[in-house]
A and B are shown apart, each in its own frame.
Chain A
Amino acid sequence: MRLEEGVGMGGSIPAKISRRQLFLKLLRVIYRQRYLQVMALLGVAWMIIFNYVPMYGIIIAFKNFDIIKPVSEAPWVGLEHFKAFLEDDNLGYVIKNTLGISILKLFIGFPLPIAFAILLNEVRSAFFKKTIQTISYLPHFLSWVILGGILATWLADVGIVNKLLMSVNLIEEPITYLAEPQFFWSIVITSDIWKELGWSAIIYLAAISSISPELYEAATIDGAGRFQKIWNITLPSIKGTVTILFILSVSGLLNSNFDQILVLRNSLNESASNVIDIYVYQMGIQLSRFSYATAVGLIKSVIALFLLLGANYFTKKLNGTSLF
């Protein structure tokens, strides 16, 4: 193709051609693909406005920003807001809740879809397998608001959970679960698993279905039982997929599912439900402490970036698989 000759500015171009001629040639190529360039640059413009302008906006974390004046007029205050966060009384439980919920989600919510995918793959009837898949994906498509509504109904003092527990004499008095901080983490983890178990399993099912059937046939001839096949063929074959998703989960450790917690939290369970994202929302949007909230958000983004790089490095050393 002629276009590619123009772009390829490698060694094939004779040394005689000057920089100026090269530049003109480049311009000609760009002009020839002007439609393509406009299509690409519209996307670039969108990214600059909606991704890069907010990144630039982070500078207000180092200023005392006042909503009625432009950012450039706000006075610089250095690291004052970061210090304020470190000295804040809320720091302890915000960190505890963020990490607590995320780590529990990682240790319980991460392996369960793998186990589910493997067990589902062992189901013999193709029809039944397909039906379970269809049903198990469904909750992923419900919104957290709807699920929050269901939970509020179920966990109310006259709700089905209390009725059930009281009928088997496990509790004597009804409990308002969403008003008690001690139950909050369990509610968050359980409802998250309910919603995402089937959906998270898709990617593992895809990985399992791409394993060559010959491997299993050979193992059967060698007399391997089903558990041996799972252990020696299925698990090693999906190791790469598991690793990639693990890296992504670790980098998301500080993202404690804002949508979900915003629906389930209330002033009574505050001490167990206030996570970094919620704290940023409260400070920034509700109390208009823009600079302070931006500083807290920045701390989070930077730690998340390091977690990603760290997990990537760690798994690369450990089993040679990495995201980049």
Chain B
Amino acid sequence: MLKMSRLTTRESVFDIVNFVFMLFICFITLYPIWYVLVNSLNDGTDAMRGGIYWFPRIFSMDSYKAVFANGGIMLAMWVTVAKTVVGTLVHVFFTAMVAYSFSRHDLVGRKFYMLLGTVTLFFSGGLIPYFLLIRDLNLLDSFWVYILPAAFSFFDLIIFLTFFRELPAGLEEAAKIDGANDFKIFYSIVIPVSMPVVATIMLFHGVYQWNDYFTGMIFINNMDLQPIQTYLYRVVAQSSSSQMAAAMPANIQKSVTSQSIKLATMVVTTAPIVIAYPFLQKYFVKGFMIGSIKG
């Protein structure tokens, strides 16, 4: 209390206003997510009347049952899970491997390799030449279009590089004396001590893979290979009612509408990120700092 009394009135007014303002920020951040959640948990037909703001009026899980019973949505979910797991592992391993070699000062040609990468940060061929490249590589309508073009990122390489440079120099010496080659040093010594940065890039790239709808929209025509975000894009942005109608269960339940299925799909799509997020937060804040110091 003694501490408080020392504050001027003007400053404690500021504290209160600031506190209220921060509460307001939290509210407008969370409310839209909450709104989707309660509406998806309401009886679909009843929800069309509107007016559901805080809690479901007629609680119903039918929309979720319809989502999980829908073959198309479930397949798209599996494509997303597969591309996220495979894509993230490949990206992290490959980018870290290249970053480790670039971090070694004895690497012949290091400056030239770094220059090649730096140019890509500031200039690119653009969408059309990239599209034609993917076509020429026969990656159209292939699962690998999610993996190979995303296997590497020079920006992430810089984050890895900054971390690797901080590693104690003596770390690799012992292994070298034992005759281990550089690749072995990388995966058996460097990777295990670099878990904070590995976790960060995994999170960043995992979220990218999970959220990316553009790749699936532009390079994939085969509906069996589209990820859930592309599926949702077609439903949301193009209001493709045909796809939504196809999502309706055959024995049409009165409690489910195309809107309520859409909301439930949005919740199911977002849930893994929202659930995993608080646990991963400590990693990415730290990793973001590593990157930003260099950046």
Contact = CB atoms under 8 A, between A and B. Distances in A.
Interface of A: 1, 3-4, 7, 26, 29-30, 33, 35-40, 42-44, 46-58, 60, 116, 119-120, 122-124, 128, 131-132, 134-139, 141-146, 148-150, 152-154, 158, 160, 163, 194, 197-198, 202-203, 206, 225-226, 244, 251, 258-259, 262-266, 277, 280-281, 284-285, 290, 293-294, 297-298, 300-301, 305, 308
Nearest to B106: A3
Interface of B: 8, 10-11, 14-15, 18-19, 21-22, 25-26, 28-30, 32-33, 35-36, 39, 48, 50-51, 53, 94-95, 97-98, 100-102, 104-110, 113, 116-117, 120, 122-133, 137, 149, 151-152, 154, 157, 181-183, 186, 207, 210-214, 218, 229, 232-233, 236-237, 239, 259, 262-263, 266, 269-270, 273-274, 277-278, 281, 285, 288-289, 292, 295
A40 B126 contact: no
A42 to B, nearest CB: 7
Given A35-B181, A284-B127, A301-B126, A154 B32 contact: yes
The residue in A47, A143, A263, A297 that gathers the most chain B C-beta atoms within 10 A of its C-beta is: A143
Contacts of A49: 133, 137
Contacts of B106: 1, 3-4, 7, 29, 33, 36
Contacts of B14: 122, 226
Contact of A43 (B126, B133, B152): B152
A259 to B, nearest CB: 7
A293 B263 CA distance: 36
A202 B236 contact: no
Given A57-B125, A225-B10, 16 more contacts: A26-B108, A37-B109, A42-B97, A46-B94, A46-B151, A51-B124, A54-B126, A55-B123, A128-B19, A141-B273, A150-B266, A194-B29, A206-B292, A265-B237, A266-B237, A300-B126
Contacts of B157: 43
B213 A143 contact: yes
A42 B211 contact: no
A259 B214 contact: yes
B182 A35 contact: yes
25 contacts: A36-B104, A36-B182, A37-B101, A38-B183, A39-B100, A40-B109, A43-B97, A43-B102, A43-B117, A44-B113, A46-B151, A52-B120, A58-B125, A128-B19, A136-B25, A136-B26, A138-B30, A142-B211, A142-B270, A145-B236, A149-B236, A202-B288, A258-B214, A259-B214, A281-B127
A3 B213 CA distance: 47
Interface of A is mostly: helix
A160 B128 contact: no
Contacts of A134: 278, 281
Nearest to B286: A206
A315 to B, nearest CB: 15
B277 A138 contact: yes
A160 B126 contact: no
B125 A54 contact: yes
Contacts of B107: 33, 36-37, 40
Contact of A290 (B100, B132, B152, B207): B132
A39 B97 contact: yes
Contact of A294 (B8, B126, B214): B126
Contacts of B101: 36-37, 39-40, 43
Contacts of A294: 126, 128-129
B262 A39 contact: no
B236 A263 contact: yes
A26 B104 CA distance: 16
A43 B97 CA distance: 8
A141 B154 contact: no
Contacts of A258: 214
A259 B50 CA distance: 29
Nearest to A302: B123
Given A4-B105, A149-B236, A149-B262, A132 B26 contact: yes
B285 A35 contact: no
B235 to A, nearest CB: 8
B29 A44 contact: no
A39 B122 contact: no
Contact of A305 (B53, B95, B123): B123
Given A39-B182, A146-B270, A262 B152 contact: no
Contacts of A145: 211, 213, 229, 232-233, 236-237
Contacts of B105: 4
